[in-house]
Amino acid sequence: MNRILDPSLLGDDFIWGVSSSAYQTEGAHLTDGKGLSIWDVFTETQQRKIKDRSSAVIACDFYNRYEEDIRLLKQTGIPHFRFSLSWPRILPQGTGDINTKGIDYYNRVIDYCLAQGITPWVTLYHWDLPYALEQQGGWTNRAIVEWFAHYVQVCWKAFGDRVKHWMVLNEPMVFVGAGYFLGVHAPGRMGMKNFLPAIHHAVLCMAEGGRILRRLDPEATIGTTFSCSYIEPYRSSERDVRAAQKVDTLLNRIFLEPILGLGYPTADLKPLQDIKSYMKPGDESRMAFPFDFIGIQNYTREIVRHSWWTPYLQAKLVSPAHRKVPYTQMNWEVFPDALYEMIKQFSSYKGIPDIYITENGAAFEDPDHPELILDYHRKEYLQQHIAQLFRAKAEGFPVKGYFVWTWTDNFEWAEGYIPKFGLVKTDRKTQKRVLKESGRWYGEFIQGEITEITEP
Ligand code: BGC
């Protein structure tokens, strides 16, 4: 079936952008007084956990090249830019002295965006915790609620006169799950004794961050972002259905429901019950905050089957290779309906505010050409996913915007530089940028060009 994508059908107030993060792009990891982050230390001391043994000491050198990257955004016709602030660049020890050079740097980035007519959407925390705080327990220490509150205030004071779109946390489930349970992301901690307190403190910080920003700037648009995957059982057997339910609870509900005032979904995930031991009187209400928007970050769906051998969950994922379906460099199935399903699932909660897709995109190996990057797979991925926005919007779901992950090819955490997610190719040796075909198409599309696509 052919489908017409006409951007004007999404409404005049629908916004389009790209997303990135500080650690994955900035480099300059010790420049101008920046403190170490947990990722600086992790990539140094646990190098074997990074697929290509790389680090982000230089990354895309965005610290020095932000003007070029923002100019290219402008030339491509992309009006909204989501990026994050590095906590240790602003507060090298996490608390205490402010690094004025770090503040100056973000002032330059924000001012340059505004001068180019690009709206900055700022994430306060995208995983690069100051190492000094990790030495005091990091996310497992309840004191992080105070550390974080201080950091939020410093950021608002420095940038709040110009930044009007804020996101408090980026994907808490990923940084807590991968960093404090599986140990595959910084700081590399494992087990329930780290996981449960880190979940609870991240929830408290998310709500507290929202409250602080709202108090300081009642006019600002304040959100927070969640990773999510559409979950389906492998077979319709009771066991697989139950396994899928548990994975859905783990991946899609743990952080969203307490924010909405529903508490933790412990009834559907028993091992979560021990989180009570980290809660203090009054926490139930402290965990909730009415955000202006929720950022959905979706890339794929997961198919789940029962497994006796997986501790806590008794569930495992069935890989796309096993199912013989298309997948990306991340081993994530290409399944555009997932985006629609997640919008629908999130919208089914009472009181869900506006929804922005704050990340969606695909890692594919790009054709090797110095000037002409004809990345048709990525372009098609974007078109198929954007088609799902039209579907969701037509059904009345409150989707207000879409950001592609990501602008320049960058440091993909434990996967190093292998997966390429960018709309712009970044040559790691020369730092030369080349706009890919997907980026060219995206820019033209959002400027009003109508596109016809063939749906799978
Ligand atoms: C994160 C990004 C990451 C992307 C692709 C999200 O989980 O917010 O930092 O690069 O997905 O894996």
Q: Which domains does the chain have, with CATH numbers?
A: 2-454 (3.20.20.80)
Mutate to test the pocket of ligand 1, among 359, 378, 404 (most ligand atoms within 8 A of CB): 359
* Minimum-distance ligand 1 atom for the alpha carbon of 171: 8
Going by pLDDT thresholds of 50, 70 and 90, the confidence category of residue 451 is very high
Mutate to test the pocket of ligand 1, among 300, 360, 409, 413 (most ligand atoms within 8 A of CB): 413
Going by pLDDT thresholds of 50, 70 and 90, the confidence category of residue 455 is confident
Cα-to-centroid distance, 171 and ligand 1 (Å) = 8
Whether residue 359 lies in the annotated active site: yes
Structure confidence by residue, pLDDT tens digits, 185-220: 999 999 999 999 999 999 999 999 999 999 999 999
Q: State the amino acid at position 17 in one-letter form.
A: G
Mean pLDDT of 424-429: 97
CA nearest ligand 1 atom 12, residue: 412
Catalytic residue among 208, 359, 380, 412: 359
Binding site membership of 333 for ligand 1 (Cβ less than 6 Å)? no
Mean pLDDT, rounded, of the chain: 97
For residue 219, count CB atoms less than 10 angstroms from its CB and return exposed for 0-12, middle for 13-18, buried for 19 or more.
exposed
Cα-to-centroid distance, 281 and ligand 1 (Å) = 34
Q: Which residues contact 368 (CB under 8 A, 6 or more apart)?
A: none
Write down the pLDDT at residue 2: 87
Give yes or no for residue 361 having a pLDDT over 80.
yes
Write down the pLDDT at residue 316: 98
Binding site membership of 359 for ligand 1 (Cβ less than 6 Å)? yes
Binding site membership of 174 for ligand 1 (Cβ less than 6 Å)? yes
Going by pLDDT thresholds of 50, 70 and 90, the confidence category of residue 370 is confident
Whether residue 171 lies in the annotated active site: yes
Specify which residues 190 forms β-bridges with.
182
The two structure tokens encoding residue 215 = 């108090």
Mutate to test the pocket of ligand 1, among 381, 405, 407, 415 (most ligand atoms within 8 A of CB): 405
- pLDDT above 70: percentage of residues in the chain: 100
CA nearest ligand 1 atom 5, residue: 412
Going by pLDDT thresholds of 50, 70 and 90, the confidence category of residue 1 is confident
Query: What does pTM read for this prediction?
Result: 0.98
Mean pLDDT of 352-364: 97
Cα-to-centroid distance, 236 and ligand 1 (Å) = 31
Structure confidence by residue, pLDDT tens digits, 34-73: 999 999 999 999 999 999 999 999 999 999 999 999 999 9
Q: Are 14 and 103 in contact (CB under 8 A)?
A: no
